[in-house]
Amino acid sequence: EPEVTQTPSHQVTQMGQEVILRCVPISNHLYFYWYRQILGQKVEFLVSFYNNEISEKSEIFDDQFSVERPDGSNFTLKIRSTKLEDSAMYFCASSDDSRLAGRNEQFFGPGTRLTVL
């Protein structure tokens, strides 16, 4: 069964450094998402992406964050200058066109644990 994959599984970085988290969504999916979960807190929406542009973003998703789908398969989240409070588990998700599939299920990747020192 196809799955969303994410790399790396764990990223350690110094405060102020740029990081890129990578995701490969399920191949026929059209909608892509990033969520994060700070340790002990709830899973929070960051951004959704469709047709090569951001559809919606949360207050968390400020100018330090960006997303792109550079090659039609990878979906990346970049944090330009990491802060201590960016330490979290970052989940990528994808979904198909529910109007065709008759459902609205987001499939999640295993997550990337980002640790900012």
The label of the residue with tokens 């065709």 reads: 100
For residues 57 and 99, give the distance between their C-alpha atoms in angstroms, rounded to a whole number. Answer: 22
**Any alpha helices (H) in the chain, and if so which ranges?**
98-101
* Beta carbon of residue 88, minimum distance to another protein (angstroms, whole number): 14
Q: Judged by CB, which is closer to another protein: 44, or 68?
A: 44
Indicate whether 44 belongs to the interface with another protein (CB under 8 A): yes
* Beta carbon of residue 23, minimum distance to another protein (angstroms, whole number): 12
Q: Work out whether the CA dihedral 14, 17, 23, 29 comes out positive or negative.
A: positive
User: Residues 74, 76, 110, 113: which binds another protein (CB under 8 A)?
Assistant: 110
Residues 78-107 within binding reach of another protein (CB under 8 A):
91, 95-99, 103-107
17-25, 34-42, 61-69, 77-85 -> range binding another protein (CB under 8 A)? 34-42
User: Residues 7, 13, 22, 43: which binds another protein (CB under 8 A)?
Assistant: 43
The contacts of residue 80 (CB under 8 Å, 6+ apart) are: 18, 63, 64, 65, 66
For residue 39 the two structure tokens come to 């340790």
Q: Rule CB under 8 A: which residues touch another protein? A: 3-4, 30-31, 33, 35, 41-45, 48, 50, 55-56, 58, 91, 95-99, 103-111
